Amino acid sequence: MLADYREFHPDFPINPGEDADDEEQRKAARNELKTLAGHRSRFGGNFSQLEARLNGRLEDTSFEAYTATQIDLGDLSKILNTETASLPLVELDPEYFDKIDEYDVQPGQFGASETPILIPIQIEDDIVIYWDPLADYYDNSTTNPVEMTLSETTFLRLWSRAERARWTLWLDGQEQKKMAEFMDIDQ
């Protein structure tokens, strides 16, 4: 998602390091992302501070991170069609894993599973087209992300059933914000 966003907005200051020249740069980039996500080895990251951490990092830039819950497909479409906005991240119910063939997720001894995180890229003709980072992890045939699809109905059902119903994160770089700041100074 970040790599894709940087392709169109090279000024975006957080570099996920996928285009890094050497291992050291890649590692530094990974560490920055881990810090932003509050990630600790095996323990994982938390979302409660994610937006604040990202915005702390994006202070003094024209970019901003947003999270929302309870948004609908129309809102999601709006984000997807906003040129200055990144692709969104969404959380789905773990039942999602039963719907796909690309890989298999087996819950542990207490039945706890992974929470799927997807990157929708387009909604059209009652279909949601998306990238699934885990499918990319398992697919080594191509460097491009694997495009997958779910029907709008299934997507909406699984998106609504996630714990934070319809949780979504995206970035936006509003040129207007810069303009507004200039105008403030001028006055």
Interface residues with another protein (CB under 8 A)?
Answer: 38, 40-48, 102-115, 134, 137-138, 163-164
CB of 82 to another protein, least distance (A): 26
Measured distance CA(52)–CA(48) in Å, rounded: 8
Measured distance CA(33)–CA(89) in Å, rounded: 15
Spatial CA neighbour of 135 closest among 125, 124, 156, 149: 149
C-beta of 104 vs 175, nearer to another protein: 104
C-beta of 80 vs 89, nearer to another protein: 89
C-beta of 13 vs 44, nearer to another protein: 44
C-beta of 8 vs 103, nearer to another protein: 103
CB-facing half-sphere around the CA of 172: CA atoms within 13 A: 15
CB of 160 to another protein, least distance (A): 13
C-beta of 127 vs 134, nearer to another protein: 134
Neighbours of 91 (CB within 10 A): 21
CB of 175 to another protein, least distance (A): 32
CB of 94 to another protein, least distance (A): 9
CB of 76 to another protein, least distance (A): 20
Spatial CA neighbour of 172 closest among 75, 35, 79: 79
Neighbours of 146 (CB within 10 A): 16
CB of 37 to another protein, least distance (A): 9
Q: Is 180 exposed, middle or buried (0-12, 13-18, 19+ CB in 10 A)?
A: exposed
C-beta of 78 vs 164, nearer to another protein: 164
Contact residues for 165 (Cβ-Cβ < 8 A; gap 6+):
69, 70, 159
